[in-house]
């Protein structure tokens, strides 16, 4: 299957600039602004000498219908029931990471900014509640160019959110999305994705640093090329002292669906076959190493482990700890 | 087995006043007071018209050795590994509930107060962070008389923590612990438990309201006698509108051990055989009704569901929600 054909298929199912924008269910925000709100959505844990802070950016609700390309709705509903989730709609959550290494701050991905579903966009409040300031951020590492990962870099009005930060992106992802010829040949439904990448990156194009796979992006953080979800989709291995964290990015969408059923393909996977191979490879790695993992779309705090029994994977969330361990 | 014999067995393994006090591992508190702390440990969810807030009271670490009376250490370690928890020590957490029904506040249990492990005692800070004040509490409902459930009622120096609250306790539990003859006959290791019950309740003995099983304790909250852990140990069914929550109390200690292996007995169960029957009864109820459950000793936010496959139970934590649902 050619890249173009893949793109057409992906583009026909969603607008990639904001994959959640079109299909978000009607969702009041009144509960979000009540006096009775949740505690701020951040959670800290240690990976060796690096303190990781997971920052939640809210959620977007999607109907299940049409979400998994190669499974019957009833099968998807059964998987939701097994996880005690609603068989009607999926709450897809967004959780980015802050790495604090001796006071140097690196973000991995940035959330929806002010361009996501009305129930998202809580990233900045949670980031500040965790004691951080966007002006302190030294580096922003981007895993791939979907809107829910990059839109936090730049507000709708054009403002750069992290004025001091060096922005680092996968070289392969940059080459794919920034090629004008490819954008011009893309179907209408796909053009928004290309345009959004330009909206975010064009003003800083000369300063964006393109990183290669299998190299350290920042100290302790090594990029893993794991394409399929997008052409340059990247996971990371974070290592420090004896600690290790596999940052999965979008190797799976919601674990209840795609860790349990790694052969299923979400509509967001641009090359479903390649994404499936990548998913098996990363889940096998995590299970065999018993390494801690972080998933962008796992329920907050979006970190845990991958078990494998009887040939099936399962995601085991960490036990919440009052102490930062 | 007579009650006295059961008491002797239970008393020989631990001091019941503070079941965690003696066996707590050395545990620095420096990470707790760091600038880099966790978000406050409270989590809200709705049960019909009642807003529930789970309030965390930190944790106590215990060695695994000797914790499960009827399993080999290696079996217990295997269960910990299955849950990706440390095979060396168990972090037992404490999570109480606040029920807010039209502004009337009911607590279910109170945490360790200032008498628990150094890594516990965070209840009041979390309670205040959730916007509550102890002077607002209308009712405190106690599930049973172990120190980690009742010590939050009264500080070491004798101060009553909830000055306005009516205190409601299981009639059976009161009858057991407040009988002086039973205290006087108890073995030394058990006497602390009786004395602590008097420390907490004697100053308010004439005002304490004793509730019976199968009756509403406060509107929407029905007591379920489920003895074994203690003679008057109580679970609750919370019902409002279409919503339902089974408050398990100490039907199990950590779910990774005792939901997965309901025949195992923790040292805290005063009558292990009766506790085992009670545990099966409540887990079967929760699994067959697919009802939401809360466990005092499940990892925070200590609420989820009970699944049953291949004859084995599993605890499925709720998906953290930024909106209060």
In a domain, A30, yes or no: no
Is 50 exceeded by the pLDDT of residue A90? yes
Residue B51 pLDDT grade (very low, low, confident, very high; cuts 50, 70, 90): very high
Q: Do the Cβ atoms of B119 and A322 come closer than 8 Å?
A: yes
- What pLDDT was estimated at residue A56? 98
Is 50 exceeded by the pLDDT of residue A98? yes
In a domain, B147, yes or no: yes
- Alpha helix locations (H) across chain B? 3-13, 30-33, 73-82, 123-129, 147-150, 171-177, 180-185, 188-201, 255-258, 272-289
Q: What is the mean pLDDT of chain B?
A: 91
Token code pair at residue B169: 């306790």
Q: How far apart are CA B133 and CA B137, in angstroms?
A: 7
Residue B12 pLDDT grade (very low, low, confident, very high; cuts 50, 70, 90): very low
Is 70 exceeded by the pLDDT of residue B264? yes
Q: Do the Cβ atoms of B57 and B91 come closer than 8 Å?
A: no
Out of A58-67, A71-80, A154-163, B25-34, pick the least confident.
B25-34
- The CATH code of the domain that includes A234 is 3.60.15.10
Token code pair at residue A169: 């992106």
Of B51, B59, B305, the CB nearest to A322: B59
Q: Which of B281, B303, B285, B286 is nearest to B294 (CA)?
A: B303
Of A35, A37, A43, the CB nearest to B38: A43
Arithmetic mean of pLDDT, A135-157: 98
Arithmetic mean of pLDDT, A19-31: 37
Arithmetic mean of pLDDT, B94-101: 98
pLDDT in tens, B284-315: 999 999 999 999 999 999 999 999 999 999 99
Q: Identify all chain A residues contacting B122, using CB atoms and an 8 Å cutoff.
A: 322
Arithmetic mean of pLDDT, B177-189: 95
In a domain, B12, yes or no: no
In a domain, B18, yes or no: no
Q: Which residue of B has its CA nearest to A293?
A: B84
Report the 3 state secondary structure along B266-320. ECCCCCHHHHHHHHHHHHHHHHHHCCEEEECCCCCCCEEEEEEECCEEEEEECCC
Interface test with B, best of A25, A33, A38, A313 (most B CBs within 10 A): A38
Residue B323 to residue A83, Cβ atoms within 8 A: no
Nearest CA-CA distance, residue A121 and chain B, Å: 11
- What pLDDT was estimated at residue B36? 83
Out of A22-31, A155-164, B266-275, pick the least confident.
A22-31
pLDDT in tens, A264-277: 999 999 999 999 99
Q: Identify all chain A residues contacting B255, using CB atoms and an 8 Å cutoff.
A: none
Backbone angles phi, psi at B226, to 5 degrees: -145, 70
- What pLDDT was estimated at residue A35? 57
Domain that includes residue A111, residue range: 3-25+41-317
Q: Identify all chain B residues contacting A320, using CB atoms and an 8 Å cutoff.
A: 41, 56, 93, 299-301
Distances (CA, A) of A217 to A28, A139, A170: 40, 10, 10
CB atoms closer than 10 angstroms to residue A72:
9
- The 8-class DSSP code of residue B220 comes to T
Backbone angles phi, psi at A295, to 5 degrees: -120, 135
Residue A129 to residue B301, Cβ atoms within 8 A: no
Q: Do the Cβ atoms of A296 and A143 come closer than 8 Å?
A: yes
Of A42, A59, A323, the CB nearest to B119: A323
Residue B321 to residue A83, Cβ atoms within 8 A: no
- What pLDDT was estimated at residue B44? 98
Nearest CA-CA distance, residue A34 and chain B, Å: 9
Of A41, A44, A93, the CB nearest to B36: A44
- What pLDDT was estimated at residue A244? 98
Q: Do the Cβ atoms of A7 and A186 come closer than 8 Å?
A: yes
Residue B56 to residue A322, Cβ atoms within 8 A: yes
In a domain, B31, yes or no: no
Is 90 exceeded by the pLDDT of residue B162? yes
Of B43, B56, B91, the CB nearest to A38: B43
- What pLDDT was estimated at residue A84? 98
For tokens 């990015």, what's the residue?
Answer: A249
Residue A28 pLDDT grade (very low, low, confident, very high; cuts 50, 70, 90): very low
Total domain count for chain B?
Answer: 1
Helix or strand holding residue A61 (H, E): strand A50-63
Q: Is the dihedral of CA A227, A228, A229, A231 positive or negative?
A: positive
In a domain, B9, yes or no: no
Is 80 exceeded by the pLDDT of residue B182? yes
Token code pair at residue B34: 């760091």
In a domain, A200, yes or no: yes
How many pairs of residues across A and B have Cβ atoms under 8 Å apart? Answer: 115
- What pLDDT was estimated at residue A25? 39
Residue A39 to residue B36, Cβ atoms within 8 A: no
Q: How far apart are CA A163 and CA B259, in angstroms?
A: 50
Out of A106-110, B10-14, B157-161, pick the least confident.
B10-14
Is 80 exceeded by the pLDDT of residue B319? yes
Token code pair at residue B19: 């079941």
Q: How far apart are CA A218 and CA A225, in angstroms?
A: 16
In a domain, B260, yes or no: yes
- What pLDDT was estimated at residue B35? 57
Q: How far apart are CA A176 and CA A232, in angstroms?
A: 8
Nearest CA-CA distance, residue B291 and chain A, Å: 10
pLDDT in tens, B228-246: 999 999 999 999 999 999 9
Residue B36 to residue A84, Cβ atoms within 8 A: no
Q: Which residues pair with B101 in a beta bridge?
A: B104
Arithmetic mean of pLDDT, B212-235: 98
Q: Do the Cβ atoms of B175 and B211 come closer than 8 Å?
A: no
For tokens 């795609």, what's the residue?
Answer: A258
pLDDT in tens, A270-307: 999 999 999 999 999 999 999 999 999 999 999 999 99
Q: Which residue of A has its CA nearest to B57?
A: A322
Token code pair at residue A273: 């076959």
Residue A36 pLDDT grade (very low, low, confident, very high; cuts 50, 70, 90): confident
């Amino acid at each position: 299957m050619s890249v173009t054909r893949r793109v057409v298929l992906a583009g026909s199912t969603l607008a990639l600039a904001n994959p959640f924008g079109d299909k978000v269910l009607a969702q009041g925000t009144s509960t979000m602004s009540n006096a009775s709100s949740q505690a701020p959505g951040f959670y800290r844990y240690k990976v060796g000498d690096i303190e990781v802070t997971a920052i939640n950016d809210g959620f977007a609700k999607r109907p299940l219908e049409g979400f998994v390309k190669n499974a019957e709705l009833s099968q998807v509903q059964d998987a939701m029931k097994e996880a005690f989730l609603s068989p009607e709609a999926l709450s897809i959550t967004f959780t980015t990471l802050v790495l604090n290494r001796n006071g140097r701050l690196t973000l991995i991905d940035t959330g929806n900014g002010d361009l996501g579903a009305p129930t998202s966009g809580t990233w900045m409040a949670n980031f500040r509640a965790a004691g951080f300031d966007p002006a302190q951020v030294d580096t922003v590492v981007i895993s791939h160019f979907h809107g829910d990962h990059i839109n936090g870099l730049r507000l709708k009005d054009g403002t750069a959110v992290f004025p001091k930060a060096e922005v680092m992106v996968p070289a392969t992802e940059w080459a794919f999305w920034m090629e004008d010829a490819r954008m011009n040949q893309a179907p209408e439904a796909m053009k928004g994705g290309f345009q959004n990448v330009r909206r975010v990156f064009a003003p800083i194009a000369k300063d964006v640093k393109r990183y290669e796979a299998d190299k350290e992006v920042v100290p302790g953080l090594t990029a893993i090329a794991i394409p399929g979800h997008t052409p340059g989709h990247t996971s990371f291995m974070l290592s420090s002292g004896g600690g290790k964290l596999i940052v999965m990015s979008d190797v799976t969408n919601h674990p209840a669906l795609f860790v349990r059923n790694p052969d299923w393909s979400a509509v967001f996977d641009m090359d479903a076959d390649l994404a499936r191979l990548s998913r098996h490879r990363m889940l096998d790695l995590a299970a065999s190493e018993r390494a801690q993992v972080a998933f962008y779309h796992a329920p907050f705090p979006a970190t845990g482990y991958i078990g494998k029994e009887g040939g099936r994977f399962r995601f085991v969330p960490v036990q919440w700890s009052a102490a930062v361990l």
